């Protein structure tokens, strides 16, 4: 709501007199909200956003434009700009009072700009569209993407709506397996190396009860097991059945440090340095 003031003057025979000052208020009739269907992200995720525009006035508002900054932010010295979201072309859906409408024109994909929007008197319009999280999206503890949409048109006060999303919490684990040597004589010794990587912002600790299992074929005998270079003992750190070849770590023994994250000061691209733990199992083929 904005106020305006007005005063008149009257002049006669060299005399000037002023009227009282009148005060009026301009009621802003347009409002907007923005919501992310999913409020956490990993790089590569597609996030769906919904922008709801409400017209509380007595006249229809036509020819509106909505501009979305796709989370753009400044970084580096001197300040450069990174855009962490990429609009998914063709994803927009447009509704007026809940009724589907033809998709609005996309005047630009950055900043994302939709034109030709209308909101009926006492009604609402909604834009629903998707954007993919790209390599410029901040990662790590305390990171976020704040994404702002602005709606404007002739004769109205522009309104803004924003939504913030944050990286997914917790550990994100992957595992790879290698064998050495690949060719081994009968009754020979082989070593399996398991590399466990954590690309998440939190460590996988003992309380997470990460369990590793494998069934060795052919069965291994005379096992020697180590985790991150520290020897493991059967019954304390792992269980193993020499008849079936079934191996399992015991609860709380597998831990993996959190990843670290960094942003290239020149390009603005974020990279992940995974936390790594290594399980090594050596035995004789029986």
Share of residues in the chain with pLDDT > 70 (%):
97
Residue 16 included in any domain? no
Residue 182 is part of which domain span?
Answer: 173-285
H-type helices in the chain, by residue range? none
**Which residue, among 32, 54, 27, has the nearest Cα to 122 in the 3D structure?**
54
Are residues 119 and 150 both part of a single domain?
yes
Domain CATH for 37: 2.60.40.740
- Chain center to CA of 70: 12
For the stretch 126-170, pLDDT in tens is 999 999 999 999 999 899 999 999 999 998 889 999 999 999 999
DSSP helix/strand/coil, 131: strand
Residues 6+ apart with CB under 8 A from 12: none
Going by pLDDT thresholds of 50, 70 and 90, the confidence category of residue 4 is: low
Find tokens 């919501």 and name the residue: 35
211, two tokens: 């369990």
Are residues 154 and 235 both part of a single domain?
no
Residue 17 included in any domain? no
Phi-psi region of 196 (alpha: psi -120 to 50; beta: other; left: phi over 0): beta
For the stretch 234-245, pLDDT in tens is 999 999 999 999
Whether the CB-CB separation of 113 and 122 falls below 8 Å is answered with no
Highest mean pLDDT among 29-33, 190-194, 262-266: 190-194
Whether the CB-CB separation of 34 and 163 falls below 8 Å is answered with yes
DSSP 208: G
Per the structure, the count of domains in the chain is 2
Residue 257 has pLDDT above 70, yes or no: yes
Domain CATH for 260: 2.60.40
Are residues 124 and 147 both part of a single domain?
yes
Report the range of poorest mean pLDDT among 181-190, 199-208, 244-253. 181-190
Q: Which of 149, 167, 185 is the last residue of a domain?
A: 167
Rounded CA-CA distance 212/206 in Å is 13
Q: Which of 125, 149, 167 is the last residue of a domain?
A: 167
Whether the CB-CB separation of 133 and 45 falls below 8 Å is answered with yes
Are residues 68 and 118 both part of a single domain?
yes
110, two tokens: 């950055």
| Tally of CA atoms within 13 A in the half-sphere of 113 that contains its CB | 10
For the stretch 82-136, pLDDT in tens is 999 999 999 999 999 999 999 999 999 999 999 999 999 999 999 999 999 999 9
Q: What is the DSSP string of 226-267?
A: EETTEE--BTTTEEEETTTTEEEEPTT-B-BPPPEEEE-TTT
181, two tokens: 């040597």
Q: What is the pTM of this model?
A: 0.80
If you average pLDDT over residues 270-285, what whole number do you get?
97
Are residues 208 and 136 both part of a single domain?
no
């Amino acid at each position: 709501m904005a106020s305006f003031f007005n005063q008149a003057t009257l002049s006669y025979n060299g005399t000037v007199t002023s009227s009282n000052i009148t005060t009026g208020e301009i009621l802003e009739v347009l409002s907007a909200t923005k919501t992310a269907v999913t409020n956490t992200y990993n790089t590569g995720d597609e996030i769906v956003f919904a922008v709801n525009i409400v017209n509380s006035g007595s006249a229809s508002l036509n020819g509106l434009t909505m501009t979305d900054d796709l989370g753009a932010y400044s970084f580096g010295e001197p300040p450069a700009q990174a855009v962490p979201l990429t609009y998914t072309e063709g994803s927009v859906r447009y509704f007026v009072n809940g009724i589907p409408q033809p998709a609005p024109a996309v005047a630009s994909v950055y900043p994302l700009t939709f034109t030709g929007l209308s909101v009926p008197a006492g009604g609402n319009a909604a834009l629903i569209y998707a954007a993919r999280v790209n390599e410029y999206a901040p990662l790590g503890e305390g990171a976020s993407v704040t994404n702002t949409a602005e709606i404007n048109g002739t004769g109205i006060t522009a309104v803004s709506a924003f939504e913030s999303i944050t990286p997914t919490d917790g550990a994100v684990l992957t595992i790879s397996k290698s064998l050495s040597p690949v060719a081994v004589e009968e009754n020979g010794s082989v070593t399996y190396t398991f590399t466990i990587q954590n690309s998440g912002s939190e460590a996988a600790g003992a309380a997470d009860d990460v369990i590793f299992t494998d069934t060795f074929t052919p069965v291994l005998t005379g096992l020697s097991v180590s985790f991150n270079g520290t020897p493991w003992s059967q019954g304390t750190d792992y269980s193993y059945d020499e008849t079936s070849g079934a191996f399992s770590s015991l609860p709380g023994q597998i831990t993996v440090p959190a990843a670290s994250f960094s942003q290239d000061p020149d390009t603005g691209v974020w990279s992940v340095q995974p936390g790594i733990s290594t399980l090594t199992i050596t035995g004789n083929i029986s």
